[in-house]
Amino acid sequence: MINVNRGLADPDLAVVKVKQLELLRKLGRVPLGTEISGYRIVVEKLWKAQWYKCCYCERKTTWSFNDIDHFRPKGSANRMPGCAQRHGYWWLAFDWDNLLFSCSSCNRSAKNDRFPTRIGSVSLQAEELPPGKERPLLLDPSGSENPVEHIQFNPLLTPDGLDWWATARGGSEIGAATIEICKMNNAEFRELRRDHFLSVISPVILDINEALEASQYPLAAARMERMRELLRPRSSYVAFSYDAFNYFISEARLRAAGIDPMLGISFIGR
């Protein structure tokens, strides 16, 4: 997960919001048994703003069969461990700042209606705008926190090769909760990371290492450009690529070779 930038709010969504909120205000919730979907008019726009990637797992995917995720769930919200209240954020169902493009695995199988909050958090009530005194225990890809500073990917050597697991960087509480909510360590995501490492990351690392071992520092510096491309927001699995690269080639080693790594954590996804 890296930060995403939606860009300017969609004016068409604002029109839909005015009309739809009339109904939702009367009910005080989203209609039961009827899926509201007017917010889907922004799915393609969000998809493009997020570089065609799911905001949580960073896989590139098509928009047509995938989802708009409501960061604050619209229907009902499971806020445990911080709060037992279950009301959904219906008044944010058409709010540009609450919408993200997500693959169906992350939105439906993983996150669903879960929206954990910290102990002592005060949940928003109808029509209140975030953040108020609410303290989510879930990283918002469009928020001010850099997800890379909270989630780290570490390899485990198995008979089948390296198995990359998401862990809480520096013991981050919100990182640990986000990993659990988004099921970042399920078999599907670990297999995607394994494949990305073998087919994309590993060849670049091997080439840079080869140049470093031969003391061919200008060549190593040139090859670093390929790694930097893999860390641009538009690439797949940027957060994972950052940790995989750092695991094998430290910044200290690059600096010793006179190469500016320019791979500081604050750079990632920005």
Residues contributing to the site for Zn ion (CB under 5 A): 54, 56-57, 103, 106
Dig out the tokens for 202 from the structure. 């590993």
Our CB check for Zn ion shows the closer of 43 and 124 to be 43
CB of 143 to Zn ion, least distance (A): 17
Our CB check for Zn ion shows the closer of 100 and 249 to be 100
CB of 64 to Zn ion, least distance (A): 15
Our CB check for Zn ion shows the closer of 85 and 104 to be 104
Task: Check: CB of residue 194 under 8 Å from CB of residue 200.
Answer: no
**What is the Cα–Cα distance from 167 to 169, expressed in whole angstroms?**
6
CB of 163 to Zn ion, least distance (A): 19
Our CB check for Zn ion shows the closer of 109 and 125 to be 109
CB of 63 to Zn ion, least distance (A): 13
Place of tokens 């510096």: 221
CB of 116 to Zn ion, least distance (A): 18
CB of 101 to Zn ion, least distance (A): 9
Our CB check for Zn ion shows the closer of 24 and 106 to be 106
Our CB check for Zn ion shows the closer of 54 and 77 to be 54
